[in-house]
């Protein structure tokens, strides 16, 4: 017995170590980390090294707890400004998008796998949610600096679509297991009412649970070593409490993290570091267990239809669902296309595919194996191409800051204030003589192993360590002072234009200098307000506006979204984003409409009695090309 304990511990620890080392490979080659974790689990499972693991209940239990830890950390690290910026598009994708994906995928699965309609929709619900962990790992590994709006949309969608997919999957399993064949109207009514109750209870428990976590952390004077464990345990209690009363535990734990992370909770730096490590451990454990649970020798029997379903999900179902969900928000097509492509399926889909086995469904193993193959197809095809596609679509922006060496220190009783330790980087503004603002309070400087008062140091030099006590709303401003200059790729040298423009200047001066054709109302605005208006009321870093012969580029915005820096280019060089046709239903619709117009024109020309009418939209193009009216 004792020998078995040592052996199980050795094997389990070895798998975790192997998964941790695989991250080095992923960072080096940009590989999807989740794919590596799953492959390690498959290689050590039944058809690999021979480790037998077929306990569906244990796999689902461990996976659910790991997912709860991941969701709490995801909510804890999501700032409210990202939520406000992307709430509409992301929640639309997390609700309507999940339903559309389920319906489209289930309809095709019904014919390819010969499943019943309910079983097909069950499979669709299992693969309807996305895996954000794999996506953002790829973005970090590839050093991809995405546009903020796109990143926020993906973050919020990933945190909110899992609870909805989980509810839909479990509900369908219960209906099928009960051998019920309800009418479509009754089924939809039950699902809608159950959804509202499940999500409503989960939201209430999550919000109040998050507030309770903040209050307990502030009231109890716990040791810093015990505090992160206390918070993690409370988050799991929120998860369990919501599920026990019929609510969504996964939505509850995500909202609890969101509330706690955006409050003035004590020891936030320590909590973030601990939760980051626990989130990594939870991902590794969940992925390894799911890989061990799979039986690859069963895959060949359904390989062809499963691969076809994976391709259908990637190239048809997800793009259509995203296009329909984002249509009301009028996002640029490149951003819609990228969101369509970054719909990686991962551990949550495999975890949900275990539920048919728990429910004792006849085709439970078939559904699990199909979902597993679909996830592999998604990771192989989409996981390797996230970076290249982001560059092709023009969603990569130059880094705003260069290297920054900063440490956040926790102090007792320092509510609304932070103690920051900066190392002065060569080439940074403070190293070039820029003064530190008065609202910052430098208290200590370390130079060559000696500590001195800031007032006695004179000018700061590269390599100095400066300790500054500052209100918590200002660190981003200090970062700009202590960061070195960002290294701009030669291809991006003219990204922000050759000239700087003061956003506070009148747009009438812009009209007088360059005659871009502004209206009378636009000439009354400032240049910054003009750009904001042309962008639909919201500007972000690296946005571009083409106005006649010039292009205005947003160089910087403040924390309230107001433009504080603009660049001007006399030769607009912004690359035209080439959106792949299969990623944009709007592009497909435009091409079909263009084909229909051309077909009508040809038919009119073939009919000698039909009046010839030139399309009004085509007239300017013809005039420009031929020089004739």
The per-residue pLDDT for range 117-152, each reduced to its tens digit, is 999 999 999 999 987 666 666 665 556 778 878 888
Q: Is residue 188's pLDDT more than 80?
A: no
Separation between Cα atoms, residue 23 and residue 16, nearest integer Å: 11
> Is the distance from CB of 569 to CB of 498 less than 8 angstroms?
yes
Tokens of 96: 């309507």
3-state class (DSSP) for residue 55:
coil
> Is the distance from CB of 296 to CB of 369 less than 8 angstroms?
no
> Is the distance from CB of 365 to CB of 609 less than 8 angstroms?
no
> Is the distance from CB of 315 to CB of 382 less than 8 angstroms?
no
The reported pLDDT for the residue numbered 330 is 81
H-run or E-run covering 499: strand 499-501
Residue 441 phi/psi, 5-degree rounding, is: -120, 85
3-state class (DSSP) for residue 239:
helix
Q: What percent of the chain has pLDDT over 70?
A: 80
Residues with Cβ within 8 Å of 204's Cβ and at least 6 positions away in sequence, in order, are 247
User: Which of residues 527 and 132 earns the better pLDDT score?
Assistant: 527
Separation between Cα atoms, residue 165 and residue 352, nearest integer Å: 8
The Cβ of residue 451 has, within 10 Å, a number of other Cβ atoms equal to 10
> If you classify domain 2-392 with CATH, what class do you get?
mainly alpha
**Residue 625 binned pLDDT confidence (cut-offs 50, 70, 90):** very low
Q: Is residue 398's pLDDT more than 90?
A: no
Mean per-residue pLDDT over the chain, rounded: 81
Q: Is residue 259's pLDDT more than 90?
A: yes
Domains 405-482 and 490-569 share a fold: no
Separation between Cα atoms, residue 74 and residue 135, nearest integer Å: 13
Q: What ranges do the domains of the chain cover?
A: 2-392, 405-482, 490-569, 586-626
> Is the distance from CB of 553 to CB of 542 less than 8 angstroms?
yes
H-run or E-run covering 219: helix 184-219
Average pLDDT estimate for 56-62 = 93
The owner of tokens 């009321």 is 537
Q: Is residue 621's pLDDT more than 50?
A: no
Q: CATH number of the domain at 490-569, out of 3.40.50.2300, 3.40.50.970, 3.30.465.10, 1.20.120.1760?
A: 3.30.465.10
| Residues comprising the chain, all counted | 629
The owner of tokens 């009695």 is 609
SS3 content of the chain, % helix, strand, coil (to 5): 60, 10, 30
Average pLDDT estimate for 487-495 = 58
Separation between Cα atoms, residue 39 and residue 36, nearest integer Å: 5
Describe the strand order of the beta sheet including 417-423 as a list of residue ranges. 405-409, 417-423, 465-471, 441-447, 450-452
Average pLDDT estimate for 180-199 = 76
Q: Is residue 541's pLDDT more than 60?
A: yes
Q: Which long-range contacts (CB under 8 A, 24 or more apart) does 88-92 make?
A: 88/329, 89/153, 89/157, 89/325, 89/326, 89/329, 89/331, 89/339, 90/152, 90/153, 90/154, 90/155, 90/156, 90/157, 90/160, 91/156, 91/157, 91/160, 92/325, 92/326, 92/328, 92/329
Average pLDDT estimate for 148-163 = 85
Average pLDDT estimate for 476-494 = 68
User: Which of residues 312 and 405 earns the better pLDDT score?
Assistant: 312
- pTM above the 0.85 mark? no
Beta-bridge partners for 568: 499, 552
Q: Is residue 620's pLDDT more than 50?
A: no
Question: Could you give the count of Cα atoms lying within 13 Å of 441 in the half-sphere of its Cβ?
Answer: 8
- What per-residue string of b and e applies to 199-212 under the rule 16 or more CB within 10 Å gives b? bebbbebbbbbbeb
Q: CATH number of the domain at 405-482, out of 3.30.70.1450, 1.25.40.420, 3.40.50.300, 3.40.50.720?
A: 3.30.70.1450
Strands (E) in 373-491, as ranges, are 405-409, 417-423, 441-447, 450-452, 465-471
């Amino acid at each position: 017995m004792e020998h078995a304990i040592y052996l199980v511990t050795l094997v389990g620890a070895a798998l975790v170590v192997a998964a941790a080392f695989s991250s080095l490979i992923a960072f080096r080659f940009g590989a999807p980390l989740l794919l590596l974790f799953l492959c390690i689990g498959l290689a050590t499972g039944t058809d690999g090294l021979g480790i037998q693991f077929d306990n569906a209940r244990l796999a689902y239990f461990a996976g659910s707890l790991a997912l709860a830890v991941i969701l709490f950390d995801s909510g804890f690290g999501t700032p409210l400004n990202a939520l406000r910026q992307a709430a509409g598009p992301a929640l639309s994708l997390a609700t309507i998008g999940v339903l559309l994906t389920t319906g489209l995928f289930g309809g095709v699965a019904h014919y390819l796998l010969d499943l019943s309609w309910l079983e097909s929709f069950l499979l669709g619900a299992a693969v309807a949610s996305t895996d954000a962990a794999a996506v953002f790992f790829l973005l970090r590994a590839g050093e991809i600096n995405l546009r903020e709006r796109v990143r926020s949309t993906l973050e919020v969608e990933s945190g909110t679509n899992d609870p909805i997919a989980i509810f839909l999957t479990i509900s369908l399993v219960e209906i099928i297991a009960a051998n019920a064949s309800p009418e479509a109207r009754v089924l939809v009514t039950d699902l809608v009412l159950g959804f509202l109750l499940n999500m409503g209870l989960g939201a209430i428990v999550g919000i109040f649970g998050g507030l309770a976590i903040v209050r307990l952390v502030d009231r109890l004077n716990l040791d810093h070593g015990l505090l992160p464990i206390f918070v993690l345990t409370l988050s799991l209690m929120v998860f369990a409490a919501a599920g026990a009363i019929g609510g969504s535990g996964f939505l509850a734990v995500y909202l609890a993290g969101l509330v706690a992370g955006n409050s003035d909770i004590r020891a936030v730096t320590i909590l973030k570091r601990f939760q980051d490590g626990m989130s990594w451990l939870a991902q590794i454990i969940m992925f390894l267990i799911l890989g061990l649970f799979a039986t690859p020798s069963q895959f060949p029997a359904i390989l062809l239809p499963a691969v076809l379903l994976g391709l259908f999900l990637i190239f048809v179902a997800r793009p259509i669902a995203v296009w329909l969900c984002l249509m009301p928000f009028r996002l640029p097509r490149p951003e819609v296309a990228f969101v369509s492509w970054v719909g990686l399926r991962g551990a949550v889909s495999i975890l949900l595919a275990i539920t048919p086995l728990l429910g004792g469904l006849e085709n439970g193993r078939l559904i699990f194996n199909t979902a597993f193959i679909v996830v592999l197809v998604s990771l192989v095809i989409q996981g390797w191409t996230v970076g290249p596609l982001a560059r092709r679509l023009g969603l990569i922006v130059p880094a705003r800051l260069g290297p920054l060496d900063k440490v956040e220190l926790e102090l007792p009783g320092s509510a609304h204030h932070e103690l920051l330790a900066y190392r002065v980087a060569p080439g940074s503004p403070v190293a070039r003589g820029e003064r530190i603002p008065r609202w910052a309070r430098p208290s200590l400087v370390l130079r060559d192993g000696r500590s001195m008062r800031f007032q006695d140091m004179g000018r700061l030099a590269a390599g100095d360590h400066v300790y500054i006590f500052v209100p918590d709303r200002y660190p981003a401003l200090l970062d700009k002072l202590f960061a070195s200059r960002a290294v701009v790729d030669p291809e991006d040298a003219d990204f922000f234009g050759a000239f700087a423009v003061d956003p506070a200047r009148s747009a009438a001066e812009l009209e007088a200098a360059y005659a871009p054709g502004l209206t009378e109302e636009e000439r009354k605005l400032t240049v910054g307000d003009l750009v904001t208006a042309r962008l639909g009321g919201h500007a972000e870093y690296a946005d571009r506006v083409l106005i006649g012969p010039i292009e205005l580029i947003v160089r910087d915005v403040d924390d309230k979204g107001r433009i504080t820096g603009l660049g001007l280019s006399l030769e607009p060089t912004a690359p035209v984003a080439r959106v792949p046709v299969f990623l944009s239903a709007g592009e497909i619709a435009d091409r079909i409409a263009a084909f229909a117009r051309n077909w009508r024109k040809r038919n009119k020309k073939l009919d000698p009695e039909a009046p010839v009418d030139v399309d009004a939209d085509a007239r300017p193009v013809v005039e420009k090309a031929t020089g004739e009216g």
